[in-house]
Chains A and B, each alone.
Chain A
Amino acid sequence: MNQEIKSAAAKPAKPRRRRRFRWNEGYFGFLYLLPAALFFLTFVLIPLIQTFNLSLWDWSGIQGAPSTWVGLDNYRYVLSNPESLAALSHSMVFIVTFCIIPVTLGITFAALFSRQKIAGLVFFRTIVFLPQVISSVVIGIAWRWVYQDRGTLNQFLGFFGIESTRGWLGDFDWALPAVGIIGSWVMTGLCMVLFLSGVGRIDSDLYDAVKVDGGGAFREFFAVTLPGLRPELTVATTITIIAALRTFDIVFVTTKGGPGKETIVPGTEIYRLAFRENEIGEAATMAVVLAVIVFTLVRTVGWLLRDRDGIR
């Protein structure tokens, strides 16, 4: 006590004792952060900044080759050439199949059966979640067979009397939706499980309150279920949008962007420009455009689904 008063008199704002105590407690934090920071800086942050830098240059990537400053020329090129625009528009189709379809199915399922006790839930959950742990190369190969002219899809259509010998992934009209549906296949289980676990945490008193008020199923959905699922909705939308925009593996394995350019996406364009055509500047530009779109959409989703009334 005495000491405190003394030091307070000398340095009113920061008693010396306190400061040394704080040093031990807090600043050590930096020491613990050091390994992570080194990894993150070297392999994530610097490359991210370098991507932007490379996008302003014309460079072949060959060791020792000169690079020319071109300013925003690469952006003019990427934002006007039909191929990159096609790649970006295919991404929008993938947002429908990777994000909108799975999220809608998942939330419908959770809302319909929110108050049912599901026997064997663990078993079903384990199965529908399975695509999350399987390598996308394996998924791609499995779906290639499904879509072949004598594959499972045509076999299935045959049961309904629709004779089809279409090779879906080689078809100019069907290849893009066919690849997109693989995304729905991967993501729907995740969304179902996510929303189901969310709906289980909604206070059942809220449902009773709606019932007392004489509200029907629709009131119940919009007044209780949907606001209650807001965190899960944000997460599901964010994860699936990122997955849709960054798709590379599945396209690489199933169609390599073909037939023609029907299924090219930003990921495959970056790979082609950088590692096949040595157009490093253009590849980096595509990467910057992709990153900007991802960050913008993620922020927008976060803003649209923000916690307006502080329920959760």
Chain B
Amino acid sequence: MTDVISASRGTQAPRKKKMTAQTFIFKVLLYAFLTMAATVVLIPIISLVTVSLQPSDSSTTNLSWPTNPDWDNYLIAWTQGDFPLPTLMLNSLLVALAVVPIGVVVSVLAGYAFGTMKFPGSNALFYIFMIGLVMPFEATIVPLYYQLRAMGLINNLWGVILPQVALFCAFGIFWMRQFFMASPPALVEAARIDGANSFRILRSVLLPIAWPPVLTLATLMFIWSWNEFLLSLVVLDRGTRTAPSGLGTFMGQWVSDIPALSAAAVIIALPTILLYVALNRRIISGILQGAVKG
């Protein structure tokens, strides 16, 4: 620790100790460990990309840069008739674009109630919502399917959208409640004295300062919605599925064209990866904070 302090404050040079052999070994170990972890994480992803660039008749599945990278595989994956990738991507996008705003609004309203208001049973209700964080979704898929069938939502994008909102809003409520509980009471009190009702306080006082947590929540919901698999697999028909579950079920037809299948996988992963690259700090801190405080 003294090393760190003195290194960061150059003026206190006299206190600076020489780097001992032990700390040097530690540093080497640290970076060796980190490099190894990063490499292990990247290898399957990079090899997926290299496989997607092999010539189309190739059956290479290991990590080797093709002599002649074949970008046409991406075109084949995008246009191949029996695998309607553009349609599947569009469905994924439609689902996510519906889930995010509905989910955010529902979470903000409920989080506001739990975070700022006292009413009988509020704790018990909150804990009931938190069942959603723990409950394995696989445990409810069977009756959910028959319920959606009774509601006429099978093979309908709303049959995926509405349950997703319900699934993700457990985290959303928890997340927004944290924010509202931490928001300065003086601000709310001042508005209340001015005669603002609770909805006005939410709309004109709290929401303008709430955009960072709301943006984090929206981003996480988009990623979860985009990657959701089982619900879309069960509720939607082959051609109208969302991209991940569509790919999961069309895979059988691709055995002969490994590079194009890989290219399709890369295309499907791209939206969330790009979002992650742009907003990684927000996403990581959202997942970490959400996790620890839960």
- Same assembly: yes
Show the binding face of A for B, using Cβ within 8 Å. 24-33, 35-37, 39-40, 42-48, 50-51, 53-54, 61, 63, 109, 112-113, 115-118, 122, 124-146, 148, 150-152, 154-155, 185, 188-190, 192-194, 197-198, 204, 207-208, 231-232, 235-236, 238-239, 242, 245-246, 248-249, 252-253, 266-267, 270-271, 274-275, 280, 283-284, 287-288, 290-291, 294-295, 298
Please determine whether A275 and B173 come into contact, CB atoms closer than 8 angstroms.
Answer: no
B226 contacts across to A, CB distance below 8 A: 135
CA distance A128 to B35 in the complex (A): 10
- Other-chain residue from A53, A122, A287 in contact with B138 (beta carbon distance below 8 A): A287
26 contacts between A and B (CB under 8 A): A33-B109, A36-B107, A39-B169, A43-B147, A44-B132, A47-B144, A50-B143, A51-B139, A126-B277, A128-B41, A130-B45, A133-B275, A135-B227, A141-B251, A145-B44, A145-B48, A146-B43, A152-B61, A188-B37, A193-B284, A204-B1, A248-B230, A252-B233, A267-B136, A274-B142, A294-B135
Question: 1/0 per position for B128-154, CB-CB distance to A under 8 A?
Answer: 110110111111111111110100000
Q: How far is the CA of A154 from the CA of B61 in the complex (A)?
A: 11
Chain B interface residue count, Cβ-Cβ cutoff 8 angstroms: 104
Distance between Cα atoms of A124 and B40 in the complex (Å): 12
In angstroms, Cα B170 to Cα A138, docked, is 26
Chain B nearest CB from A64 CB (Å) reads 12
Q: B118 touching A44 by the CB < 8 A rule?
A: no
For A43, give its contact among B166, B173, B261, B292 (CB under 8 Å).
Answer: B166
- Which 4 pairs between the two chains have the least Cβ-Cβ distance? A50-B143, A43-B166, A36-B110, A145-B61
A35-B106 contact, Cβ under 8 Å, with A130-B41, A133-B223, A154-B62: yes
Q: How far is the CA of A115 from the CA of B23 in the complex (A)?
A: 11
Chain A residue numbers with a CB within 8 Å of B125 are 33, 37
What does the 1/0 interface line of B23-40 toward A look like (CB < 8 Å)? 000110110011001101
Residue in B105, B136, B197 whose Cβ sees the most chain A Cβ within 10 Å: B136
Q: How far is the CB of B185 from chain A (nearest CB, A)?
A: 13
- Chain B residues within 8 Å of A242, by CB: 134, 136
- Give the segment of B65-73, B75-83, B240-248 that binds chain A: B240-248
Q: Which of B167, B243, B251, B291 meets A239, CB within 8 Å?
A: B291
Residues of A within 8 A of B137 (CB): 246
B209: interface (CB < 8 Å):
no
Q: Does B273 contact A (CB under 8 A)?
A: yes
Which of B10-18, B210-218, B264-272 makes up part of the contact surface?
Answer: B264-272
Say whether B134 contacts A298, CB under 8 Å: yes
Name the A residues within 8 Å of B138 (CB-CB).
246, 248, 266-267, 270-271, 287, 290
B178 within 8 A of partner (CB): no
In the complex, besides A47-B144, A284-B142, 6 extra interface pairs with C-beta distance below 8 angstroms are A35-B110, A36-B169, A50-B140, A51-B139, A287-B139, A294-B135
Taking chain A's interface residues, is the majority helix, strand, or loop, or is none over half, making it mixed?
helix
| Cβ-based interface call for B59 (8 A) | yes
Point out the residues of chain A lying under 8 angstroms from B27, CB to CB. 116
Q: Which residue of A lies closest to B294 (CB)?
A: A235
Q: B115 → chain A, closest Cβ, in Å?
A: 10
Bound: A148/B48 CA distance, A: 12
Residue among B59, B167, B229 with max Cβ neighbours from chain A (10 Å)? B229
The answer to whether B234 has its CB under 8 Å from any CB of chain A is yes
A198 to B1, CA, bound (A): 17
Closest chain B residue to A247 by CB distance? B138
Contact of A130 among B110, B268, B276, B294 (CB under 8 A): B276
Partner of B136, one of A46, A188, A290: A290
Whether B139 and A150, one on each chain, are in contact in the complex, defined by CB atoms closer than 8 angstroms, is no
- Chain B, Cβ-Cβ closest to A250: B229
Contact partners of B204 in chain A: CB under 8 A: none
On whether the beta carbons of B229 and A137 are closer than 8 Å, the reply is: yes
**Which B68-125 residues sit within 8 Å CB-CB of chain A?**
105-107, 109-110, 112-114, 117-120, 122, 125
